């Protein structure tokens, strides 16, 4: 009885202690509807709710022939093993091959899943944007809407260079993505991606813009938006949103050692994609401008060689024959500062601007040539194929040059003809400065120093004695068939 009384007293005491806490909790102020808003953070919830219906899943199938398939029991067994284990004489081996499945009659092609990606709706009547690599080689494309309705899509057009594809489904009254622009984007700005990574429906990831105008190898016509948004296989073709709910990019590539997200994601600017869309709708293909130059970055050392206060522009290493650049009068060693009124800050700025420039009008280039600014008018041609230089191996007749820090050799006329240059000497071995510091390599063909021709070894020796010392001089070489400028500093 005493134990029960003691227990009851403890319970009553506990309730007396808890009651004020409960009463305080009930009377405490309610938290705001959005905790993010109270801390000044983006309201991703509303952003996703309003925009996820425009995102679609894209799956493709490809026909795979199933003829000549072996029976699983014998698949992969060589003839020698069949004879040894099953005692089949050579005379009956061909007949058995047919029964085991080596020569089965041709069956109907079988459709198999080929790829999985994302896309988004850009028109209420069924136009959808995605990546070229998502639908490349597909025999059938299935688009799954946000309500899980499946529709078959046709390809209106696809552009491999920008990795953009335009699809069309037979529908109307679809939700449409708001199209933004890259013009107002800034590094550090919040962005959000919605897509289908690994086939997981409507997955949302967010991050910030890490860099703008990023050039990637073999993608010179796309100034990518780099973000740290988690992008994985299956996100390809999906939209990248800003906080206003506008699509500012198409998620296209990732850099990864593991195949998963590493915080290095790349999106195609929506302005580039919509330019492609307009051309695909009108012509089914993209006409891209071609200037006909090989350009390189203007480094800090090279900028001093060319008399610039700071590195800027695109340095022309080579002009290809019978191209708009050659016809306009551009030369190797010119630095393109402006193209059609647009400033060229670095060499990677030039190809995207050239690519989207109309082909039917003349544009003006501002060029720095040996310290003087000049203007050139050029009408672009259509890009049909990549131009490549001609690599060659220098011939013999060599000697060392201590002042240059390299062994050089005379070149035969046939070699110069293949390189499409009138003169030059070959670098056989680099053993000291200034050649070593300049970055000269074995196999380079030295063409000019400070825009003065190097016709042979004798000319080179004279130049090295008369050229100014202790300042950076532009040196033009042919490397692997391509023209390249390097900074050379001759010492006393």
Angle at 316 between CA 313 and CA 318, to 5 degrees: 170
Looking at residue 257, what is its pLDDT? 62
pLDDT > 80? residue 284:
yes
Where is pLDDT greater, at 299 or 23? 299
CA nearest neighbour of 167 among 147, 141, 189, 185:
141
DSSP 105: P
Given a cut of 90, is residue 322 above it in pLDDT?
Answer: no
CA separation for the pair 160, 25 (Å, rounded):
61
Architecture in CATH of 178-283: Beta Barrel (2.40)
Residue 141 has pLDDT above 80, yes or no: yes
Percent of the chain with pLDDT strictly greater than 70: 75
Whether 335 and 367 have beta carbons less than 8 Å apart is answered as yes
Quote the pTM value: 0.65
> Which positions are catalytic?
133, 163, 236
Supply the pLDDT for residue 35. 55
pLDDT digits (tens, 9 = 90+) for 56-79: 999 988 765 554 444 444 444 444
The token pair at 115 is: 């790829």
**Cβ-based neighbour number of residue 283 at 10 Å:** 10
At 385 the pLDDT is 46
Question: 32 or 314: whose pLDDT is higher?
Answer: 314
Residue 395 has pLDDT above 50, yes or no: no
Q: Give the pLDDT band of residue 221 (cuts 50, 70, 90).
A: confident
Cβ-based neighbours of 485, under 8 Å, separated by 6 or more: 296, 302, 305, 315, 317, 333, 474, 475, 476, 477
State mean pLDDT over 73-99.
44
Q: Which two tokens stand for residue 145?
A: 């809407």
Which of 99-113, 210-224, 256-270, 314-328 is the least confident region? 99-113
| Most confident listed range (90-94, 95-99, 371-375, 416-420) | 371-375
Does residue 182 surpass a pLDDT of 50? yes
Q: What's the CATH architecture for 398-489?
A: Roll (2.30)
- The Cα 270–Cα 267 span in angstroms is 9
DSSP 161-188: TTTEEEEEES--S---PEE--STT--TT
Same fold, 290-382 and 398-489: yes
CATH fold of 290-382 reads Pdz3 Domain (2.30.42)
CB 373: neighbour CB atoms within 10 A? Answer: 11
| Domain coordinates in residue numbering, the chain | 66-100, 178-283, 290-382, 398-489
Closest by CA position to 113, among listed 85, 89, 141, 133: 141
* 140 Cβ neighbours under 8 A, 6+ residues apart: 60, 61, 111, 152
Which CB contacts under 8 angstroms, 24+ apart, belong to 278-285?
279/157, 280/156, 280/157, 280/158, 280/159, 280/164, 280/166, 281/156, 281/157, 281/166, 283/157, 284/156, 284/157, 285/157, 285/159
Tabulate helix, strand, coil % of the chain (nearest 5).
25, 35, 40
Locate all alpha helices (DSSP H) within 242-342, ordered by sequence: 270-283, 300-305, 324-328
Beta bridge partners of 209: 227
Residues 6+ positions from 368 with CB-CB distance below 8 Å: 306, 308, 313, 334, 335, 337, 374
The pLDDT score that the predictor gives to residue 118 is: 94
Average pLDDT of the chain to the nearest whole number:
79
Which range is least confidently modeled, 19-23, 111-115, 260-264? Answer: 19-23
- Give 145's Cβ-side CA count (13 Å radius): 20
């Amino acid at each position: 009885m005493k134990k029960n009384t003691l227990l009851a007293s403890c319970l009553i005491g506990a309730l007396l202690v808890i009651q004020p806490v409960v009463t305080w909790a009930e009377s405490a102020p309610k938290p705001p509807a959005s905790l993010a808003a109270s801390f000044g953070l983006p309201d991703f919830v509303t952003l996703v709710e309003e925009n996820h219906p425009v995102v679609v899943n894209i799956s493709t199938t490809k026909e795979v022939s199933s003829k000549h398939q072996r029976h699983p029991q014998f698949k992969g067994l060589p003839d020698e093993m069949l004879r040894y284990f099953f005692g089949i004489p050579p005379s009956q081996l061909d007949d058995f091959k047919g029964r085991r499945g080596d020569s089965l009659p041709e069956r109907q092609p079988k459709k198999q899943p080929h790829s999985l990606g994302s896309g988004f709706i850009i028109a209420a009547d069924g136009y959808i944007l995605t990546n070229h690599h998502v639908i490349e080689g597909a025999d059938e494309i299935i688009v799954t809407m946000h309500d899980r309705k499946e529709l078959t899509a046709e390809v209106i057009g696809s552009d491999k260079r920008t990795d953009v594809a335009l699809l069309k489904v037979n529908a109307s009254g679809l939700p449409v993505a708001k199209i933004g622009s890259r013009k107002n984007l800034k590094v550090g700005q919040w962005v959000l991606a919605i897509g289908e990574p690994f086939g997981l429906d409507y997955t949302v990831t967010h991050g910030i813009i890490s860099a703008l105008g990023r050039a990637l190898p073999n993608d010179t016509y796309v100034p990518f938006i780099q973000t740290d948004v988690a992008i994985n296989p299956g996100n390809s073709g999906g939209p990248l949103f800003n906080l206003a709910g506008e699509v500012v990019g198409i998620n296209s590539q990732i850099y990864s050692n593991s195949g998963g997200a590493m915080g290095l994601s790349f999106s195609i600017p929506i302005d580039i994609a919509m330019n492609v869309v307009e051309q695909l709708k009108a012509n089914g293909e993209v006409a891209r401008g071609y200037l006909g130059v090989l350009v390189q970055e203007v480094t800090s050392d090279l900028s001093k060689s060319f008399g610039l206060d700071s590195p800027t522009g695109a340095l022309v290493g080579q002009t290809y024959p019978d191209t708009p650049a050659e016809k306009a009068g551009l030369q190797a060693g010119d630095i393109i500062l402006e193209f059609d009124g647009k400033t060229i800050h670095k060499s990677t700025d030039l190809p995207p601007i050239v690519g989207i420039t109309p082909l039917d009008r003349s544009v003006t280039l501002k060029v720095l040539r040996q310290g003087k600014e000049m203007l050139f008018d050029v009408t672009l041609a259509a890009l049909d194929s990549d131009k490549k230089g001609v690599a060659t191996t220098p011939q013999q007749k060599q000697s060392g040059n201590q002042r240059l820090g390299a062994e050089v050799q005379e070149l035969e006329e046939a070699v110069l003809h293949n390189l499409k240059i009138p003169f030059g000497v070959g670098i056989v071995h680099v053993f000291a400065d200034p050649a070593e510091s300049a970055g000269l390599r074995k196999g380079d063909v030295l063409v000019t120093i400070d825009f003065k021709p190097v016709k042979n070894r004798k000319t080179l020796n004279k130049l090295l004695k008369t050229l100014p010392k202790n300042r950076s001089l532009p040196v033009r070489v042919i490397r692997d068939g391509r023209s390249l400028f390097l900074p050379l500093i001759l010492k006393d």
